[in-house]
Amino acid sequence: MNCRTKEYTVIKMFNTNFSARLVNKYRLPILAVIVLFIVGAVFMFVQSNSQTNLSNNGYEDQRKETAKAPLLPMVSEQKENLVEGELSSQGEVDSRSLLEAQQVFEQETANEQGSGEPLNQEPPDLMTITLAGGCFWCVEGALQDLGGVVDAVSGYAGGSAETANYLAVSDGGTKHREVVQVTYDANVISTEELLNKFWSTIDPTDPGGQFADRGFQYTTAIYYHTDDQKDVAEASIASLNKSGLLEAAVVTEVVPYTNFFRAESYHQDYYQKSAERYKRYEVASGRAGFVAETWARDEARAYFEARANQAPTAQSSGGEYDYTDEEIAELLKNLDPLAYHVVAENGTESPFNNQYWDNTAAGIYVDIVTGEPLFSSTHKYDSGTGWPSFWRTIDDDSVTLHEDNSLSTTRTEVRSAGGHVGHVFDDGLAAEGGRRFCTNSASLLFVPKEEMEAEGYGEYLYLFKEV
Protein backbone atom coordinates (compact mmCIF):
# COMPACT_ATOMS: atom_id res chain seq x y z
CA MET A 1 0.00 0.00 0.00
CA ASN A 2 1.55 3.30 -1.05
CA CYS A 3 1.34 6.56 0.80
CA ARG A 4 -1.50 7.95 -1.37
CA THR A 5 -3.66 4.87 -0.73
CA LYS A 6 -3.13 5.08 2.98
CA GLU A 7 -3.98 8.70 3.02
CA TYR A 8 -7.25 8.04 1.15
CA THR A 9 -8.16 5.22 3.58
CA VAL A 10 -7.56 7.43 6.62
CA ILE A 11 -9.65 10.27 5.13
CA LYS A 12 -12.46 7.88 4.28
CA MET A 13 -12.54 6.48 7.82
CA PHE A 14 -12.54 9.98 9.24
CA ASN A 15 -15.43 11.04 7.05
CA THR A 16 -17.45 7.96 7.94
CA ASN A 17 -16.91 8.44 11.65
CA PHE A 18 -17.69 12.13 11.35
CA SER A 19 -20.98 11.49 9.50
CA ALA A 20 -22.07 8.95 12.08
CA ARG A 21 -21.32 11.35 14.87
CA LEU A 22 -23.17 14.15 13.03
CA VAL A 23 -26.30 12.05 12.46
CA ASN A 24 -26.21 10.90 16.06
CA LYS A 25 -25.98 14.46 17.26
CA TYR A 26 -28.78 15.92 15.12
CA ARG A 27 -31.12 12.95 14.82
CA LEU A 28 -33.94 14.43 16.98
CA PRO A 29 -33.98 17.84 15.31
CA ILE A 30 -34.08 16.20 11.89
CA LEU A 31 -37.01 14.02 12.93
CA ALA A 32 -38.82 17.08 14.29
CA VAL A 33 -38.35 18.89 10.97
CA ILE A 34 -39.74 15.90 9.05
CA VAL A 35 -42.76 15.65 11.38
CA LEU A 36 -43.45 19.39 11.07
CA PHE A 37 -43.24 19.11 7.27
CA ILE A 38 -45.76 16.28 7.24
CA VAL A 39 -48.12 18.08 9.64
CA GLY A 40 -47.86 21.24 7.54
CA ALA A 41 -48.67 19.35 4.39
CA VAL A 42 -51.72 17.75 6.00
CA PHE A 43 -52.90 21.11 7.36
CA MET A 44 -52.54 22.74 3.95
CA PHE A 45 -54.53 19.92 2.35
CA VAL A 46 -57.35 20.21 4.89
CA GLN A 47 -57.41 24.01 4.60
CA SER A 48 -57.56 23.77 0.82
CA ASN A 49 -60.58 21.42 1.01
CA SER A 50 -62.26 23.71 3.52
CA GLN A 51 -61.80 26.75 1.26
CA THR A 52 -63.12 24.75 -1.67
CA ASN A 53 -66.24 23.79 0.27
CA LEU A 54 -66.77 27.36 1.39
CA SER A 55 -66.30 28.56 -2.14
CA ASN A 56 -68.77 25.99 -3.43
CA ASN A 57 -71.31 26.97 -0.79
CA GLY A 58 -70.87 30.63 -1.66
CA TYR A 59 -71.26 29.86 -5.32
CA GLU A 60 -74.44 27.94 -4.57
CA ASP A 61 -75.84 30.92 -2.65
CA GLN A 62 -74.82 33.22 -5.45
CA ARG A 63 -76.40 30.89 -8.02
CA LYS A 64 -79.70 31.05 -6.19
CA GLU A 65 -79.51 34.83 -6.01
CA THR A 66 -78.58 34.94 -9.69
CA ALA A 67 -81.49 32.67 -10.51
CA LYS A 68 -83.81 35.12 -8.81
CA ALA A 69 -82.30 38.16 -10.48
CA PRO A 70 -83.34 37.33 -14.08
CA LEU A 71 -86.85 36.52 -12.93
CA LEU A 72 -88.12 40.08 -13.15
CA PRO A 73 -87.08 40.74 -16.76
CA MET A 74 -88.30 37.28 -17.78
CA VAL A 75 -91.78 37.54 -16.32
CA SER A 76 -92.03 41.10 -17.60
CA GLU A 77 -90.58 40.33 -21.02
CA GLN A 78 -93.83 40.50 -22.92
CA LYS A 79 -94.67 43.88 -21.38
CA GLU A 80 -91.11 45.08 -22.00
CA ASN A 81 -91.33 43.95 -25.62
CA LEU A 82 -94.52 45.92 -25.93
CA VAL A 83 -92.61 48.95 -24.70
CA GLU A 84 -89.89 48.37 -27.29
CA GLY A 85 -92.42 47.56 -30.03
CA GLU A 86 -91.14 44.02 -30.41
CA LEU A 87 -94.17 41.82 -29.78
CA SER A 88 -92.93 39.03 -32.00
CA SER A 89 -91.42 35.59 -31.70
CA GLN A 90 -88.36 37.26 -30.18
CA GLY A 91 -90.56 38.45 -27.33
CA GLU A 92 -91.69 35.00 -26.23
CA VAL A 93 -90.82 33.99 -22.68
CA ASP A 94 -88.69 30.90 -22.15
CA SER A 95 -91.25 29.13 -19.99
CA ARG A 96 -88.88 26.40 -18.82
CA SER A 97 -86.26 28.89 -17.64
CA LEU A 98 -88.98 30.96 -16.09
CA LEU A 99 -90.36 27.96 -14.24
CA GLU A 100 -86.91 27.03 -12.92
CA ALA A 101 -86.33 30.57 -11.74
CA GLN A 102 -89.77 30.67 -10.18
CA GLN A 103 -89.07 27.45 -8.26
CA VAL A 104 -85.83 28.86 -6.86
CA PHE A 105 -87.62 32.06 -5.90
CA GLU A 106 -90.41 30.19 -4.13
CA GLN A 107 -87.88 28.10 -2.19
CA GLU A 108 -86.05 31.23 -1.07
CA THR A 109 -89.24 32.97 0.08
CA ALA A 110 -91.03 29.94 1.53
CA ASN A 111 -90.64 31.28 5.06
CA GLU A 112 -91.70 34.81 4.19
CA GLN A 113 -95.23 36.14 4.11
CA GLY A 114 -96.27 36.53 0.49
CA SER A 115 -95.78 34.78 -2.84
CA GLY A 116 -98.84 32.64 -2.38
CA GLU A 117 -99.51 33.30 1.29
CA PRO A 118 -102.64 35.24 2.30
CA LEU A 119 -101.85 38.71 3.59
CA ASN A 120 -102.66 39.35 7.24
CA GLN A 121 -105.34 41.94 7.83
CA GLU A 122 -104.43 45.40 9.07
CA PRO A 123 -105.31 46.69 12.56
CA PRO A 124 -108.98 47.46 13.06
CA ASP A 125 -108.47 51.24 13.10
CA LEU A 126 -107.50 51.15 9.41
CA MET A 127 -109.62 50.16 6.43
CA THR A 128 -108.70 47.84 3.57
CA ILE A 129 -110.16 47.60 0.08
CA THR A 130 -108.95 45.49 -2.84
CA LEU A 131 -109.03 46.99 -6.33
CA ALA A 132 -108.53 45.33 -9.73
CA GLY A 133 -107.56 47.72 -12.50
CA GLY A 134 -105.52 45.66 -14.96
CA CYS A 135 -101.75 45.66 -14.56
CA PHE A 136 -101.12 46.03 -10.83
CA TRP A 137 -97.92 47.99 -11.41
CA CYS A 138 -99.96 50.94 -12.66
CA VAL A 139 -102.68 50.80 -10.02
CA GLU A 140 -100.15 50.53 -7.20
CA GLY A 141 -98.16 53.42 -8.64
CA ALA A 142 -101.27 55.61 -8.74
CA LEU A 143 -102.48 54.86 -5.21
CA GLN A 144 -99.38 54.22 -3.09
CA ASP A 145 -98.42 57.85 -2.53
CA LEU A 146 -101.89 59.24 -1.87
CA GLY A 147 -102.30 61.03 1.45
CA GLY A 148 -103.97 58.69 3.91
CA VAL A 149 -102.88 55.52 2.10
CA VAL A 150 -100.83 53.43 4.50
CA ASP A 151 -99.85 50.74 2.02
CA ALA A 152 -100.68 49.47 -1.45
CA VAL A 153 -99.68 45.86 -2.15
CA SER A 154 -99.80 44.12 -5.51
CA GLY A 155 -101.30 40.65 -5.57
CA TYR A 156 -104.02 38.31 -6.82
CA ALA A 157 -107.63 37.96 -5.68
CA GLY A 158 -110.93 36.37 -6.48
CA GLY A 159 -109.95 32.83 -7.42
CA SER A 160 -110.93 29.63 -5.66
CA ALA A 161 -107.45 28.06 -5.53
CA GLU A 162 -105.61 27.86 -2.21
CA THR A 163 -102.67 29.80 -3.59
CA ALA A 164 -101.77 32.00 -6.54
CA ASN A 165 -98.64 33.16 -8.33
CA TYR A 166 -97.76 35.18 -11.40
CA LEU A 167 -97.29 32.22 -13.73
CA ALA A 168 -100.67 30.67 -12.95
CA VAL A 169 -102.62 33.92 -13.00
CA SER A 170 -101.01 35.46 -16.08
CA ASP A 171 -101.75 32.33 -18.10
CA GLY A 172 -105.43 33.03 -17.56
CA GLY A 173 -106.16 29.55 -16.26
CA THR A 174 -107.45 30.72 -12.88
CA LYS A 175 -110.24 33.01 -11.75
CA HIS A 176 -107.87 35.41 -10.04
CA ARG A 177 -107.41 39.01 -11.06
CA GLU A 178 -104.31 41.15 -10.69
CA VAL A 179 -105.22 43.49 -7.83
CA VAL A 180 -103.83 46.03 -5.43
CA GLN A 181 -104.87 45.76 -1.80
CA VAL A 182 -105.01 49.24 -0.29
CA THR A 183 -104.84 49.95 3.42
CA TYR A 184 -105.94 53.47 4.24
CA ASP A 185 -106.93 55.78 7.05
CA ALA A 186 -110.54 56.78 6.38
CA ASN A 187 -110.07 59.83 8.60
CA VAL A 188 -107.61 61.18 6.04
CA ILE A 189 -108.93 59.81 2.74
CA SER A 190 -112.48 58.55 2.29
CA THR A 191 -113.46 55.49 0.30
CA GLU A 192 -115.14 57.81 -2.21
CA GLU A 193 -111.93 59.81 -2.72
CA LEU A 194 -109.91 56.63 -3.08
CA LEU A 195 -112.30 55.31 -5.72
CA ASN A 196 -112.19 58.62 -7.59
CA LYS A 197 -108.42 58.20 -7.95
CA PHE A 198 -108.91 54.57 -8.94
CA TRP A 199 -111.34 55.54 -11.72
CA SER A 200 -108.92 58.14 -13.04
CA THR A 201 -106.26 55.50 -13.75
CA ILE A 202 -108.36 52.88 -15.59
CA ASP A 203 -110.94 52.39 -18.35
CA PRO A 204 -113.94 51.14 -16.35
CA THR A 205 -115.95 50.51 -19.55
CA ASP A 206 -113.69 47.77 -20.94
CA PRO A 207 -115.11 44.26 -20.30
CA GLY A 208 -112.16 42.36 -21.78
CA GLY A 209 -109.18 43.64 -19.81
CA GLN A 210 -107.24 46.87 -19.61
CA PHE A 211 -105.48 48.39 -22.60
CA ALA A 212 -102.78 45.99 -23.90
CA ASP A 213 -103.42 43.47 -21.12
CA ARG A 214 -106.29 41.23 -22.20
CA GLY A 215 -108.14 38.49 -20.37
CA PHE A 216 -110.24 38.04 -17.24
CA GLN A 217 -107.19 38.39 -15.01
CA TYR A 218 -106.90 42.03 -16.16
CA THR A 219 -110.57 43.02 -15.89
CA THR A 220 -111.66 45.64 -13.37
CA ALA A 221 -113.38 45.00 -10.05
CA ILE A 222 -113.87 46.43 -6.59
CA TYR A 223 -113.56 43.80 -3.84
CA TYR A 224 -115.32 45.39 -0.88
CA HIS A 225 -114.45 44.41 2.70
CA THR A 226 -117.42 46.11 4.36
CA ASP A 227 -121.04 46.84 3.45
CA ASP A 228 -120.31 50.56 3.61
CA GLN A 229 -117.62 50.14 0.97
CA LYS A 230 -120.11 48.28 -1.21
CA ASP A 231 -122.65 51.10 -0.91
CA VAL A 232 -120.04 53.75 -1.69
CA ALA A 233 -118.75 51.78 -4.69
CA GLU A 234 -122.21 51.29 -6.17
CA ALA A 235 -123.07 54.95 -5.65
CA SER A 236 -119.77 55.98 -7.21
CA ILE A 237 -120.45 53.86 -10.30
CA ALA A 238 -123.98 55.25 -10.59
CA SER A 239 -122.63 58.80 -10.39
CA LEU A 240 -119.94 58.08 -12.98
CA ASN A 241 -122.49 56.60 -15.36
CA LYS A 242 -124.62 59.73 -15.07
CA SER A 243 -121.71 62.14 -15.45
CA GLY A 244 -121.50 61.86 -19.23
CA LEU A 245 -117.71 61.56 -19.02
CA LEU A 246 -117.62 58.07 -20.51
CA GLU A 247 -118.85 56.86 -23.89
CA ALA A 248 -120.14 53.57 -22.45
CA ALA A 249 -121.46 52.25 -19.17
CA VAL A 250 -119.12 51.23 -16.35
CA VAL A 251 -118.62 47.43 -16.29
CA THR A 252 -116.43 47.29 -13.18
CA GLU A 253 -117.77 44.57 -10.88
CA VAL A 254 -118.50 45.21 -7.21
CA VAL A 255 -117.93 41.90 -5.45
CA PRO A 256 -117.30 40.75 -1.87
CA TYR A 257 -113.71 40.22 -0.83
CA THR A 258 -112.78 36.55 -0.35
CA ASN A 259 -109.01 36.20 -0.55
CA PHE A 260 -105.78 37.94 -1.43
CA PHE A 261 -102.38 36.52 -2.31
CA ARG A 262 -99.41 38.85 -2.19
CA ALA A 263 -97.54 39.00 -5.48
CA GLU A 264 -93.87 38.14 -5.79
CA SER A 265 -91.44 40.71 -4.42
CA TYR A 266 -90.14 41.80 -7.82
CA HIS A 267 -93.66 43.11 -8.62
CA GLN A 268 -93.89 45.26 -5.50
CA ASP A 269 -93.12 48.98 -6.01
CA TYR A 270 -92.21 48.30 -9.64
CA TYR A 271 -93.06 51.89 -10.55
CA GLN A 272 -90.20 52.98 -8.29
CA LYS A 273 -87.68 50.18 -8.78
CA SER A 274 -87.91 50.25 -12.59
CA ALA A 275 -89.27 53.73 -13.19
CA GLU A 276 -88.05 54.04 -16.78
CA ARG A 277 -89.46 50.71 -17.91
CA TYR A 278 -92.68 51.41 -16.03
CA LYS A 279 -93.19 54.75 -17.78
CA ARG A 280 -92.46 53.26 -21.20
CA TYR A 281 -94.92 50.45 -20.55
CA GLU A 282 -97.58 52.86 -19.32
CA VAL A 283 -97.32 54.81 -22.59
CA ALA A 284 -96.94 51.86 -24.97
CA SER A 285 -99.83 49.94 -23.44
CA GLY A 286 -102.24 52.80 -24.15
CA ARG A 287 -103.05 53.52 -20.51
CA ALA A 288 -101.31 56.90 -20.34
CA GLY A 289 -103.04 58.10 -23.52
CA PHE A 290 -106.49 57.08 -22.27
CA VAL A 291 -105.94 58.75 -18.91
CA ALA A 292 -104.84 61.98 -20.59
CA GLU A 293 -107.72 61.97 -23.07
CA THR A 294 -110.47 60.94 -20.65
CA TRP A 295 -109.53 61.89 -17.11
CA ALA A 296 -107.30 64.94 -17.59
CA ARG A 297 -110.04 66.94 -19.31
CA ASP A 298 -111.48 69.96 -17.55
CA GLU A 299 -114.87 68.27 -17.24
CA ALA A 300 -113.38 65.25 -15.51
CA ARG A 301 -111.29 67.37 -13.16
CA ALA A 302 -114.33 69.43 -12.21
CA TYR A 303 -116.33 66.26 -11.66
CA PHE A 304 -113.78 64.72 -9.29
CA GLU A 305 -113.27 68.02 -7.47
CA ALA A 306 -117.01 68.24 -6.91
CA ARG A 307 -117.16 64.65 -5.68
CA ALA A 308 -114.28 65.31 -3.30
CA ASN A 309 -116.11 68.30 -1.85
CA GLN A 310 -119.27 66.33 -1.21
CA ALA A 311 -120.20 65.19 2.26
CA PRO A 312 -119.49 61.45 2.71
CA THR A 313 -123.10 60.37 2.19
CA ALA A 314 -122.72 58.60 -1.14
CA GLN A 315 -124.29 55.48 0.28
CA SER A 316 -127.54 57.25 0.99
CA SER A 317 -130.17 57.91 -1.67
CA GLY A 318 -132.06 61.15 -1.97
CA GLY A 319 -130.15 62.89 0.83
CA GLU A 320 -131.30 66.47 1.42
CA TYR A 321 -134.05 66.10 -1.20
CA ASP A 322 -136.01 63.50 0.76
CA TYR A 323 -139.32 64.94 1.89
CA THR A 324 -142.42 63.44 3.46
CA ASP A 325 -145.80 63.82 1.72
CA GLU A 326 -146.80 66.32 4.37
CA GLU A 327 -143.69 68.42 3.73
CA ILE A 328 -144.30 68.36 -0.03
CA ALA A 329 -147.88 69.52 0.52
CA GLU A 330 -146.62 72.48 2.53
CA LEU A 331 -144.04 73.40 -0.12
CA LEU A 332 -146.66 73.30 -2.89
CA LYS A 333 -148.53 76.11 -1.15
CA ASN A 334 -145.62 78.45 -1.97
CA LEU A 335 -146.06 78.07 -5.75
CA ASP A 336 -147.75 80.60 -8.00
CA PRO A 337 -151.08 79.51 -9.55
CA LEU A 338 -149.59 78.34 -12.87
CA ALA A 339 -146.85 76.30 -11.20
CA TYR A 340 -149.31 74.81 -8.75
CA HIS A 341 -151.66 73.83 -11.62
CA VAL A 342 -148.83 72.11 -13.50
CA VAL A 343 -147.08 70.41 -10.59
CA ALA A 344 -149.92 69.53 -8.23
CA GLU A 345 -152.75 69.10 -10.73
CA ASN A 346 -150.82 67.52 -13.63
CA GLY A 347 -151.48 70.52 -15.86
CA THR A 348 -149.73 71.54 -19.09
CA GLU A 349 -148.60 75.05 -19.98
CA SER A 350 -148.82 76.56 -23.45
CA PRO A 351 -146.10 75.74 -26.01
CA PHE A 352 -143.85 78.56 -27.22
CA ASN A 353 -145.27 80.68 -24.40
CA ASN A 354 -143.34 79.54 -21.35
CA GLN A 355 -140.22 80.66 -19.59
CA TYR A 356 -137.55 78.17 -20.67
CA TRP A 357 -138.58 76.67 -24.01
CA ASP A 358 -135.96 78.75 -25.87
CA ASN A 359 -133.51 79.33 -23.03
CA THR A 360 -129.95 78.64 -24.25
CA ALA A 361 -128.00 79.81 -21.18
CA ALA A 362 -125.64 77.39 -19.42
CA GLY A 363 -126.92 76.04 -16.14
CA ILE A 364 -129.12 73.41 -14.52
CA TYR A 365 -132.87 73.02 -14.10
CA VAL A 366 -134.01 72.00 -10.62
CA ASP A 367 -137.32 70.83 -9.18
CA ILE A 368 -139.27 74.00 -8.36
CA VAL A 369 -140.64 72.35 -5.20
CA THR A 370 -137.64 70.55 -3.67
CA GLY A 371 -134.70 72.16 -5.47
CA GLU A 372 -133.36 68.77 -6.61
CA PRO A 373 -131.32 68.97 -9.85
CA LEU A 374 -133.25 67.37 -12.72
CA PHE A 375 -131.85 68.55 -16.08
CA SER A 376 -128.81 70.30 -17.51
CA SER A 377 -128.49 72.77 -20.35
CA THR A 378 -125.79 70.47 -21.74
CA HIS A 379 -128.55 67.93 -22.49
CA LYS A 380 -131.14 70.44 -23.75
CA TYR A 381 -132.05 70.82 -27.42
CA ASP A 382 -134.66 72.48 -29.62
CA SER A 383 -137.23 69.83 -30.42
CA GLY A 384 -139.52 72.25 -32.25
CA THR A 385 -142.39 71.48 -29.87
CA GLY A 386 -142.32 74.73 -27.90
CA TRP A 387 -141.57 73.06 -24.56
CA PRO A 388 -138.15 72.63 -22.87
CA SER A 389 -136.78 69.33 -24.20
CA PHE A 390 -133.89 67.26 -22.89
CA TRP A 391 -132.44 63.99 -24.11
CA ARG A 392 -131.61 62.81 -20.58
CA THR A 393 -131.84 63.69 -16.90
CA ILE A 394 -128.82 64.51 -14.76
CA ASP A 395 -129.65 61.66 -12.41
CA ASP A 396 -131.99 58.85 -13.40
CA ASP A 397 -133.06 58.49 -9.79
CA SER A 398 -134.32 62.07 -9.64
CA VAL A 399 -137.48 61.28 -11.61
CA THR A 400 -139.92 58.40 -11.88
CA LEU A 401 -141.92 57.26 -14.90
CA HIS A 402 -145.64 56.41 -14.78
CA GLU A 403 -148.25 55.26 -17.28
CA ASP A 404 -150.63 58.12 -18.15
CA ASN A 405 -154.03 57.35 -19.74
CA SER A 406 -155.58 60.78 -19.24
CA LEU A 407 -155.85 61.34 -22.99
CA SER A 408 -156.96 59.10 -25.82
CA THR A 409 -153.45 57.67 -26.10
CA THR A 410 -151.20 56.16 -23.47
CA ARG A 411 -148.24 58.34 -22.54
CA THR A 412 -145.38 58.07 -20.05
CA GLU A 413 -145.51 60.71 -17.35
CA VAL A 414 -142.34 62.11 -15.76
CA ARG A 415 -142.65 62.97 -12.06
CA SER A 416 -140.16 64.40 -9.60
CA ALA A 417 -140.38 64.32 -5.82
CA GLY A 418 -142.33 67.55 -6.04
CA GLY A 419 -144.92 66.37 -8.56
CA HIS A 420 -145.70 66.47 -12.29
CA VAL A 421 -142.88 67.53 -14.63
CA GLY A 422 -143.99 66.44 -18.11
CA HIS A 423 -143.80 63.37 -20.35
CA VAL A 424 -141.09 61.33 -22.09
CA PHE A 425 -141.40 60.27 -25.73
CA ASP A 426 -139.39 58.06 -28.08
CA ASP A 427 -139.01 60.65 -30.84
CA GLY A 428 -135.85 62.26 -29.51
CA LEU A 429 -132.32 62.48 -30.89
CA ALA A 430 -131.31 59.07 -32.21
CA ALA A 431 -127.65 59.78 -31.56
CA GLU A 432 -128.44 60.37 -27.88
CA GLY A 433 -130.64 57.34 -27.29
CA GLY A 434 -133.90 58.50 -28.88
CA ARG A 435 -135.68 59.78 -25.76
CA ARG A 436 -137.23 63.25 -25.41
CA PHE A 437 -138.11 64.56 -21.98
CA CYS A 438 -140.81 67.12 -22.73
CA THR A 439 -141.13 69.32 -19.65
CA ASN A 440 -143.10 72.27 -18.35
CA SER A 441 -141.14 75.39 -17.51
CA ALA A 442 -143.46 75.95 -14.56
CA SER A 443 -142.24 72.76 -12.89
CA LEU A 444 -138.62 73.88 -13.13
CA LEU A 445 -136.33 76.54 -11.73
CA PHE A 446 -133.27 77.51 -13.77
CA VAL A 447 -129.94 78.08 -11.95
CA PRO A 448 -127.31 79.76 -14.17
CA LYS A 449 -123.89 78.18 -14.21
CA GLU A 450 -122.34 81.33 -12.72
CA GLU A 451 -124.62 81.07 -9.68
CA MET A 452 -124.46 77.33 -9.08
CA GLU A 453 -121.64 77.45 -6.55
CA ALA A 454 -123.32 80.14 -4.50
CA GLU A 455 -126.67 78.34 -4.65
CA GLY A 456 -125.17 75.09 -3.34
CA TYR A 457 -124.93 73.24 -6.66
CA GLY A 458 -121.15 73.42 -7.11
CA GLU A 459 -120.89 69.65 -7.29
CA TYR A 460 -122.65 69.74 -10.67
CA LEU A 461 -120.15 72.08 -12.33
CA TYR A 462 -118.48 68.99 -13.83
CA LEU A 463 -121.26 69.12 -16.43
CA PHE A 464 -119.67 72.19 -17.97
CA LYS A 465 -116.33 72.62 -19.60
CA GLU A 466 -114.06 74.98 -17.69
CA VAL A 467 -112.73 77.84 -19.74
Query: Which amino acids are annotated catalytic?
Result: 135, 438
Sheet harboring 363-367: ordered strands across? Answer: 373-376, 363-367, 444-448
